[in-house]
Chain A
């Protein structure tokens, strides 16, 4: 490939480095009013009355609105595509402001004023009378008999959904254990039964959650917002206001990070409504850091009650997981994250008898859990990999060999059909082990004494790309030829710092033959003009939107060549575009015409499907009251029989013909016939055939695959101080063909740093009143530059037949494996098995004391 696969500088690098790039608040008009949300000072209860008489007297206050003023409309907030099937739609469980208080800091009123000082003064003067109930901060409290149901209109208790998945319908852990005892003898088995926990954490994107809204002269309420999902946000605002979608417009400029928090609709509908209530005047609603941390969305805290059975020679026989997640006060992404967690826990290892994985999403009166980088898989990886190393430790197995023997096998097919095509997990492990000198270090660090000890540990993961077939994957693209032969590319899969604009530009250049310096991507999305796409999440953009870019580029290229054919009087088949010129096409192969791309893809896909013989799903979603409830919604998450096949068994070349980058094989450019600029000027202004050459397509993606990878870490534990020092760490990723190696590496760096914080320091804490304790960047401990060691990154590049350019997911995965790898290295160093993250210094010291090590 000419352009894809090369480390082009980010197309937004200059703007962002110099500070010229405009973010939401940079674009705010001068006369913009400022809004402030009044938040509850109890965690659970009901607002009886609100007295705003004193607050209204504050000079500069324009409007005060309360939970008693909002439209009686409940709406969902998840950044999921709309589902045309009612049963699959997200749960609408909140209004713009809520009288029923379900968390400390719940939104009960809003002040609009000329500046933030007036708004904050007024907010302090609002008097609220509550009927107060007991706070329900933990999952245990929420499930206790007699706990107040937080959403009685939606669920009779606090279990949002309970789903159950099994590798086969008749699998049962206890039955499997009986069989294993018969087959291997009880004395030859090892079992681990334990409870493991992961924390609730905040995304801590640097740009706060912010938006500003006004009603335009055409009557449209227009919201400029820092979001990952402009088109979804437009639909949700329409639902929340009861306005038609066409009267809502969302504009998304550059954003300073989202990590999933902005894959949810936050206060933007409220912001729109406040502007409407103020006669359409522009109103800004920027949340504080404290509000962003504790009152937007968080990563689900998870508790896994786990069991695993293996033989004494390291063969994994059966596993079982009952996973409870703390959803917080509102549904947000519903059961999707928890279900994904349970699926991933089940799929990452492979047992002789099978695995059962039950997932419970539980409402509590605490921060809402929603999407966060890797969507349930960081939790699943911790649970699965901590359990795996505990078995290894007990059985004396080498954790690398145990994973090589028992991890998800090549050719794995999930029951919903997602197939692991370009399987490189074991290659990744091999590379990681070489990097860290696994065998030498395992031996070297055995039998240490003294207060400071060293260890090596590892962790693995797999991650699907995008959400097909669980949810819709659709993406549109538009390309427009300019008079000088350059093009605009317009998409709605947004740039959120991950480099999407850059790799999309590379793809457009690759397939059109127009060079990178002449490809201009429109970074700002305006839902009035930007083509439809659901947004930036699920590590989907380069895969799903990449297909739309490729399809659009092929179409634009065909139109350009058609015009060239008219100008040159030669058939388009004899022409090609190379570096901004129309050239003669010279065949270097056998001269046989290539089959049509679409036909080739279809035929190959059919062959693959036949080979794979996809298995069926087993569903048992019975809620604890016996009702069937959500089984329909989540059936897509449920897996069935694992069928094995190896992509390498396919007839030679079959995998690669599934994919066509748009670069024809066995051809090369010959004589230059016409420049793109000459062609474009003619197309625009020809008195004979004037044509504005553009292309616009929708790509409905019905393919998926798995990415994977691992982390290896070599660390040192200073036991008396509970301090962990990373001496060497490497992430190895299997993400298919890299689109831009330098950007890919940077993406992994960021994810690894997040993983370090997840493993060691980050946790959102509450007191017994349900009040968040550490909702600021001093007390919520994300790693600083001083805490992050040298980060090593390696890739195993295997062309994936499903990716538009052989690529697959890399956005979220880097954050997955670091925390469990650290955990397992601490186990190796000290023999202490930590059952929960973050492994704070205090928890480590307590554990080392308990073990008699200090």
Chain B
């Protein structure tokens, strides 16, 4: 049995906001793959849970007329990976969340929880950074949009207020159209794993597939929050895809933009090695996919 004092199943976003306002100790639950683990460990024991799991409009993926993608935060990882829009437009996000835990966890855990937890190790984080995803929050005072690159305020902390509910992630067409990408998760084993490091590299190649027009590099676990490496991105822009030096370039320059910490899980030195090596490999794969006709563009 879990130690909770109340459990509310919200019928709508407004209902959820009201319940959160009424219960100061309340926490939002959707898939429960993080909340219940925390409760079991005794943290937050006795608190109130407000479930947003049964709110229909928070599920699924949509494409607006202008090409903007709308990701429902309560969409579970499995559904996200298998969604036709995701597969067509941003398959690397589907691949990224397909590395979370194991099949059972992916059937329960949601993209909203993955982002709103504020964990730097979230498997969607690096990719969402490179997509410039916009977090749409609805609270008692209305709705606001926060770029995911400004969403995190520290480890496990975000700008979301207690009574705010994440109602969507928006991905603009200019942030995905023409790009190919690759997410590389590094763990100590092949599944049931939290990333030791996560790296997403995405490129937009010129029409003749010979030049990198734009590159985007995102990391999880390379700093206290998910990050972008914008300086290295700028250095890559305009480079030839066949220039062998681009790999040394990315491998060296990302190191100046990251700030991993040493813990018993992995040393800083080891993480730096991974940051450099994974960037090279992810860039290579992103370019290969781009040359391959960019089936995901």
Residues of A within 8 A of B (CB): 115-117, 120-121, 124, 720-722, 761, 765, 767, 773-774, 777-779, 781, 783-787, 840-842, 845-846, 849, 854
Chain B, Cβ-Cβ closest to A721: B277
Chain A, Cβ-Cβ closest to B41: A290
Given that A720-B277, A721-B274, A846-B270 are known contacts, is A787 also in contact with B1, CB under 8 Å in the complex?
Answer: no
Cβ-neighbour of A845 out of B2, B42, B270 (below 8 A): B270
Decide if A115 touches B273 in the complex (CB within 8 Å).
no
Which residues of chain A come closer than 8 Å to B193, judged between CB atoms? 778
The residue among A774, A781, A854 with the most chain B CB atoms within 10 A of its own CB is A781
Cβ-neighbour of B45 out of A121, A720, A774 (below 8 A): A121
Measured between C-beta atoms, what is the minimum distance from B283 to chain A in Å? 14
CA distance A482 to B193 in the complex (A): 53
Cβ-neighbour of A115 out of B1, B46, B194, B266 (below 8 A): B1
Cβ-neighbour of A116 out of B1, B189, B192 (below 8 A): B1
In this assembly, does B188 line the interface, its C-beta being within 8 Å of a C-beta of chain A? yes
Decide if B189 touches A784 in the complex (CB within 8 Å).
yes
Cβ-neighbour of A773 out of B264, B267, B273 (below 8 A): B264
Which residues of chain A come closer than 8 Å to B186, judged between CB atoms? 721
Chain B, Cβ-Cβ closest to A844: B270
CA distance A720 to B184 in the complex (A): 14
CA distance A812 to B273 in the complex (A): 38
CA distance A438 to B274 in the complex (A): 33
Which residues of chain A come closer than 8 Å to B12, judged between CB atoms? none
Measured between C-beta atoms, what is the minimum distance from B100 to chain A in Å? 12
Which residues of chain A come closer than 8 Å to B192, judged between CB atoms? 777-778, 784
Chain A, Cβ-Cβ closest to B189: A787
Which residues of chain A come closer than 8 Å to B266, judged between CB atoms? 842
Measured between C-beta atoms, what is the minimum distance from B157 to chain A in Å? 22
- B31-46 CB contact bits vs A (8 Å, 1 = yes)? 0000000000010011
Chain B, Cβ-Cβ closest to A854: B273
CA distance A364 to B149 in the complex (A): 48
CA distance A547 to B254 in the complex (A): 67
Decide if A120 touches B45 in the complex (CB within 8 Å).
yes
Chain A, Cβ-Cβ closest to B196: A841
Which residues of chain B come closer than 8 Å to A779, judged between CB atoms? 265
In this assembly, does B190 line the interface, its C-beta being within 8 Å of a C-beta of chain A? yes
Decide if A120 touches B42 in the complex (CB within 8 Å).
yes
Other A-B contacts than A785-B191, A787-B190, 19 sampled, CB-CB below 8 A, are: A116-B1, A117-B2, A120-B42, A121-B45, A124-B42, A721-B277, A761-B188, A765-B264, A773-B264, A778-B194, A781-B188, A781-B189, A783-B189, A784-B190, A786-B189, A787-B191, A840-B188, A845-B270, A845-B273
Decide if A761 touches B189 in the complex (CB within 8 Å).
yes
Measured between C-beta atoms, what is the minimum distance from A124 to chain B in Å? 7
27 pairs, A vs B, C-beta closer than 8 Å: A116-B1, A117-B2, A120-B42, A120-B45, A121-B45, A121-B46, A720-B277, A721-B186, A721-B274, A761-B188, A767-B264, A773-B264, A781-B188, A784-B189, A784-B190, A784-B191, A786-B189, A787-B190, A840-B188, A841-B188, A842-B266, A842-B270, A845-B270, A845-B273, A846-B269, A846-B270, A854-B273
Which residues of chain B come closer than 8 Å to A840, judged between CB atoms? 188
The residue among B42, B46, B188 with the most chain A CB atoms within 10 A of its own CB is B188
In this assembly, does B3 line the interface, its C-beta being within 8 Å of a C-beta of chain A? yes
- B1-21 CB contact bits vs A (8 Å, 1 = yes)? 111000000000000000000
Q: Which 9 A-B pairs have the closest CB atoms?
A: A786-B190, A786-B191, A842-B270, A720-B277, A784-B191, A117-B3, A787-B190, A787-B189, A781-B188
Which residues of chain B come closer than 8 Å to A849, judged between CB atoms? 273
In this assembly, does B154 line the interface, its C-beta being within 8 Å of a C-beta of chain A? no
Chain A, Cβ-Cβ closest to B276: A720
The residue among B2, B191, B196 with the most chain A CB atoms within 10 A of its own CB is B191
Chain B, Cβ-Cβ closest to A842: B270
In this assembly, does B238 line the interface, its C-beta being within 8 Å of a C-beta of chain A? no
A interface, by DSSP: helix, strand, loop or mixed? Answer: loop
CA distance A842 to B272 in the complex (A): 11
In this assembly, does B102 line the interface, its C-beta being within 8 Å of a C-beta of chain A? yes
Measured between C-beta atoms, what is the minimum distance from B108 to chain A in Å? 16
Which residues of chain B come closer than 8 Å to A720, judged between CB atoms? 273, 277
Given that A117-B1, A787-B190 are known contacts, is A774 also in contact with B264, CB under 8 Å in the complex?
Answer: yes
For chain B, residues 98 to 149, give those with C-beta under 8 angstroms from any C-beta of chain A: 102
CA distance A818 to B3 in the complex (A): 43
Which residues of chain A come closer than 8 Å to B46, judged between CB atoms? 121
CA distance A8 to B265 in the complex (A): 45
Chain A, Cβ-Cβ closest to B266: A842
The residue among A779, A783, A841, A849 with the most chain B CB atoms within 10 A of its own CB is A841
Which residues of chain B come closer than 8 Å to A773, judged between CB atoms? 264
Chain A, Cβ-Cβ closest to B263: A773
CA distance A461 to B188 in the complex (A): 28
Measured between C-beta atoms, what is the minimum distance from A571 to chain B in Å? 65
For chain B, residues 262 to 297, give those with C-beta under 8 angstroms from any C-beta of chain A: 264-267, 269-270, 273-274, 277-278
CA distance A35 to B78 in the complex (A): 38
Given that A765-B264, A842-B266, A846-B270 are known contacts, is A121 also in contact with B3, CB under 8 Å in the complex?
Answer: yes
Measured between C-beta atoms, what is the minimum distance from B109 to chain A in Å? 14
Which residues of chain A come closer than 8 Å to B196, judged between CB atoms? 841
The residue among B2, B45, B192 with the most chain A CB atoms within 10 A of its own CB is B192
Measured between C-beta atoms, what is the minimum distance from A232 to chain B in Å? 33
Which residues of chain B come closer than 8 Å to A845, judged between CB atoms? 270, 273
For chain B, residues 155 to 178, give those with C-beta under 8 angstroms from any C-beta of chain A: none
Which residues of chain B come closer than 8 Å to A116, judged between CB atoms? 1
Measured between C-beta atoms, what is the minimum distance from A713 to chain B in Å? 18
Measured between C-beta atoms, what is the minimum distance from B190 to chain A in Å? 4
CA distance A309 to B191 in the complex (A): 43
Measured between C-beta atoms, what is the minimum distance from B278 to chain A in Å? 8
Which residues of chain A come closer than 8 Å to B191, judged between CB atoms? 784-787
Measured between C-beta atoms, what is the minimum distance from A772 to chain B in Å? 11
CA distance A121 to B42 in the complex (A): 9
Measured between C-beta atoms, what is the minimum distance from A767 to chain B in Å? 7
Measured between C-beta atoms, what is the minimum distance from A775 to chain B in Å? 11
Measured between C-beta atoms, what is the minimum distance from B90 to chain A in Å? 24
CA distance A722 to B193 in the complex (A): 17
Which residues of chain B come closer than 8 Å to A783, judged between CB atoms? 189
CA distance A732 to B164 in the complex (A): 61
Which residues of chain A come closer than 8 Å to B102, judged between CB atoms? 784
Which residues of chain B come closer than 8 Å to A846, judged between CB atoms? 269-270
- B172-208 CB contact bits vs A (8 Å, 1 = yes)? 0000000000000010111111101000000000000
Which residues of chain A come closer than 8 Å to B1, judged between CB atoms? 115-117
Which residues of chain B come closer than 8 Å to A761, judged between CB atoms? 188-189
Measured between C-beta atoms, what is the minimum distance from A213 to chain B in Å? 21
Which residues of chain A come closer than 8 Å to B188, judged between CB atoms? 761, 781, 840-841
CA distance A785 to B104 in the complex (A): 14
Which residues of chain B come closer than 8 Å to A765, judged between CB atoms? 264
CA distance A781 to B190 in the complex (A): 10
Which residues of chain B come closer than 8 Å to A778, judged between CB atoms? 192-194
Which residues of chain A come closer than 8 Å to B269, judged between CB atoms? 846
CA distance A470 to B247 in the complex (A): 62
Measured between C-beta atoms, what is the minimum distance from B273 to chain A in Å? 6
Chain A, Cβ-Cβ closest to B101: A778
Measured between C-beta atoms, what is the minimum distance from B268 to chain A in Å? 11
Which residues of chain B come closer than 8 Å to A784, judged between CB atoms? 102, 189-192
Which residues of chain A come closer than 8 Å to B278, judged between CB atoms? 721
Which residues of chain A come closer than 8 Å to B45, judged between CB atoms? 120-121, 124
Measured between C-beta atoms, what is the minimum distance from B18 to chain A in Å? 27
CA distance A785 to B1 in the complex (A): 29
CA distance A720 to B275 in the complex (A): 11
CA distance A698 to B161 in the complex (A): 72
Which residues of chain A come closer than 8 Å to B190, judged between CB atoms? 784, 786-787
The residue among B2, B189, B265 with the most chain A CB atoms within 10 A of its own CB is B189
CA distance A115 to B190 in the complex (A): 37
CA distance A840 to B264 in the complex (A): 12
Which residues of chain A come closer than 8 Å to B274, judged between CB atoms? 721
Which residues of chain B come closer than 8 Å to A117, judged between CB atoms? 1-3
